[in-house]
Structure 1
Amino acid sequence: MLEWVGSSIWLGYLGIFLGLLLCGLGLPLPEDILLITAGYLTYIHGWNLYGMVLVALSGVLIGDATIFWLGRRFGREIVNVRLFNRWMSPKRIEKTERFFERYGEKTVFFARFLPGLRAPTYLIAGTMRFDFPLFLLLDGLAALISVPTVVYLAFHFGDDIAAARTHIRKVIYGAALLVLLYILVEIRRRRRKPI
């Protein structure tokens, strides 16, 4: 996969951008993995580090803004959509809203550093009619810290990542197998549930 994406700088940029955009929309893939991939691809192919950081920042911020606007447009009703109700239970919404009421603007800034809570937090910010320019400012400031840092570190330690590649592949295959097993167990469990 990395070889295919890495065969062209434009495919690499597009793949990283779209992946980060989808992460912003709640794709169950840690954003940091894509940022590390961005830094690694930049390292092994000799791409422009600043260009990759700009592409990554764009994907992150557009994804975050999109989930915010979905929340703003559809309000709490969006959690009734199957795609969203898997990771946004009514209890989680209430908890996030209370967190917003207590910590306000800090919530938007610090959510960037809490994987798994970014998309739900930004969705709730939209449903709560949080000020969009302020949202963009706080999210942008946090992204200006996290995105370049992760991409640069992956770029800087490219040799070590290349050496660990075979082990990483085993971990990825193992994780994929665990996800597949989980899905099969869930399907079986749901079939057994009485209606």
Structure 2
Amino acid sequence: MGIIDFFLNLLSDPRGAIAGWIITLGAVWVYTPLFLIVFVETGLVFFPFLPGDSLLFAAGVFSADGGGLHLGATLLVFYAAAILGNTSNYWIARFFGKRIIDSGKVKALTPERMAKLDSFFEKYGGLTIVITRFMPFFRTFAPFIAGTGHMNFAKFTMFNAIGGISWVSLFVLVGYFFGGVPFVQEHFEVIVLGIVAVSVAPAVIGAVKAALNGRKKKA
């Protein structure tokens, strides 16, 4: 139950989690859990539910003056976590991808999501790695699918760096510049939920469209 409570608290209140880490771990070691959460979300196909967007935003808020984090360090730690995470995911797929898919143990890696990612790769090519950075679940699975044969490593690395830097910069800097606004401070939980909702929206819309198209074909 301890690990479940940890993830539930992190999902519901990333600001409270970071504040607790700053107090207990100090100004240097606080970056360790921040790095690990983003690395695991992007690097291990088994953890697509971790709160990447809201965590980046909350860390940006704490990177403002007096917040306990340093903006430059926050950005560098998250850049490294995002890029290395995707790289790890790519190589896991390169060596074990077919075995993992065939095992059926990754329930979130549904045939519908795989088909959606296949169509993304066909339509956008390497830009898929950049686009899916801003889509929960898909950002975890895109490097995995790329590693199963959609992209060579050099090309993947270039788009991985572009996507990782863009994603981290957007959410951290939005938190940094706007986190101190009184309205944001007073309605932080609602805003975090809004960030999650906006991030998840493309995946939900895609799932609904796929379901409707499936019904039309059956009809």
**Both structures adopt the same fold (TM-score exceeding 0.5):** yes
1:75–1:127 Cα contact (<8 Å) kept: yes
* Residue equivalent to 2:136: 115
Amino acid at match of 1:3: A
Query: Secondary structure of the equivalent of 1:71?
Result: helix
* Residue equivalent to 2:21: 5
Structure 1 residue ranges (4+ consecutive) displaced by more than 6 angstroms after TM superposition: 170-173
- 1:52-98 Cα distance to aligned partner (Å, 9 max, x none): 100011111111111111111112221245652x1112343244234
* Residue equivalent to 2:175: 154
> Residue 41 of structure 2 is aligned with which of 23, 26, 44?
23
1:6–1:45 Cα contact (<8 Å) kept: no
Amino acid at match of 2:69: W
Is structure 2 residue 99 aligned with structure 1 residue 77?
Answer: yes
> Residue 51 of structure 1 is aligned with which of 55, 70, 73?
73
1:109–1:141 Cα contact (<8 Å) kept: yes
Change (3 A) 1:78 1:51: same
* Residue equivalent to 1:124: 145
Identity %: 26
Is structure 2 residue 58 aligned with structure 1 residue 40?
Answer: no
1:79–1:89 Cα contact (<8 Å) kept: no
2:56–2:168 Cα contact (<8 Å) kept: yes
Change (3 A) 1:167 1:138: same
Q: Aligned partners of 1:116, 1:98: CA distance in 2, in Å?
A: 16
1:12–1:41 Cα contact (<8 Å) kept: no
Q: Aligned partners of 1:99, 1:47: CA distance in 2, in Å?
A: 36
2:83–2:161 Cα contact (<8 Å) kept: yes
* Residue equivalent to 2:166: 145
Q: Aligned partners of 1:100, 1:122: CA distance in 2, in Å?
A: 11
Q: Aligned partners of 2:29, 2:84: CA distance in 1, in Å?
A: 19
Q: Which runs of 5+ in 2 are unaligned?
A: 1-16, 194-219
Amino acid at match of 1:45: G
2:49–2:136 Cα contact (<8 Å) kept: no
1:6–1:41 Cα contact (<8 Å) kept: no
- 1:118-154 Cα distance to aligned partner (Å, 9 max, x none): 1111110001152112111111112222211211110
TM-score normalised according to structure 1 size: 0.75
Query: Secondary structure of the equivalent of 2:180?
Result: helix
Q: Quote the RMSD (CA, aligned, Å).
A: 2.6
TM-score normalised according to structure 2 size: 0.68
Q: Which runs of 5+ in 1 are unaligned?
A: 174-195
1:35–1:151 Cα contact (<8 Å) kept: yes
Q: Aligned partners of 1:39, 1:125: CA distance in 2, in Å?
A: 30
Change (3 A) 1:171 1:148: closer
